[in-house]
Amino acid sequence: MGKRRLGRTDIDIEPMIFGCNVLGWTLEENAAYRVLDAFLDGGFAAFDTADVYGKGKSETILGNWMKARGNRARVHVFTKVGASNAEGKRDLSAKWIASEVENSLKRLQTDMIDLYQSHFPDAQTPQDETLEAFDRLVKAGKVRWIGSSNQDGKLLGEALAISKAKGLARYETIQNEYNLYDRSTFEGAVQDICVKEHLSGIGYFSLARGFLAGKYRSAADVDKSPRGKAAIDKYLNDKGRRILAALDAVSKRRNALPAEVALAWIVAQPGVGAPIASATSVEQTQSLMRGARLELSTEDLGELAAAGR
């Protein structure tokens, strides 16, 4: 499918972003280096983390890896701010952003973040204040581009209008949950904005906590990963089984794994820059990359979409 440019940025990536939420959680540092190496060596360069993942451990491992490998110039670093401040509250205030960006830069061992994203909406802080704080970081050279996460169409539209009216850096990406099962927070108003305004969707939980990989097909599979119970409780129902059946059918036709088909479906959707997915082994990482490059037919796409309605 080739590289895609995110929004109006100069960031060109293969259509897959490595989700670094696993770093320091289900993937410790030594093993993480092998997985991160495999992703980068496979031609993929975008890595998404956040200040709160592992209470900073994810950023730290990513920074240690870049320093050890001397590969910062080859890597696109995406991180997020605002999910939790020192008091455990969502915070997109100018004061918190100015403080926390320094902590992220230190953990990442870099002087600039490629894509800095607001993690969750903060009802206590006006969007003007948040966008002005981000704009100052861009002007200072600490951040190249900005993005948002977990915003609905109303909030995203307001943010873009503020940036345009005040001449501020605008959100170039929107990171909402998006997969074959969970489609409502991207499809509709947010997706329409992405297409019209040339933003890029970079959805998370692309494999629905592993469910779309076919990992959980009965309650007996609950112990297959730390996410097993959450995945089974949410997805193992009639809709989930319809999606698994469609994935199985398309996988057989394409000689691909269900996870690869699920990722390829996302890549093919309008307004999508790339899905985010995590891996804890080189084998899983190679599968993610195959999924990003898998071409599905119109019939395949329609069958999968219908199963998830």
**Percent residues over pLDDT 90 in the chain:** 93
The stretch 221-240 carries a mean pLDDT of 85
**Percent residues over pLDDT 70 in the chain:** 100
State the pLDDT confidence band at 1, using cuts at 50, 70 and 90. Answer: low
According to DSSP, the β-strands at 12-13 and 4-5 are antiparallel
122 close to 150: Cβ distance less than 8 angstroms: no
pTM of full prediction above 0.75: yes
Give tens-digit pLDDT for 186-197.
Answer: 999 999 999 999
| Strand order across the 113-118 sheet | 200-201, 171-175, 143-149, 113-118, 76-81, 46-48, 17-19, 276-277
Cα 36 from Cα 24, distance rounded (Å):
13
The stretch 159-165 carries a mean pLDDT of 98
| Domain 4-211+258-296 classification at class level | alpha beta
308 close to 180: Cβ distance less than 8 angstroms: yes
Please report, for residues 2, 228, 297, the alpha-carbon distance to residue 241 in angstroms, rounded to integers and kept in the order given. Answer: 32, 16, 22
Give tens-digit pLDDT for 256-308.
Answer: 999 999 999 999 999 999 999 999 999 999 999 999 999 999 999 999 999 99
274 close to 15: Cβ distance less than 8 angstroms: yes
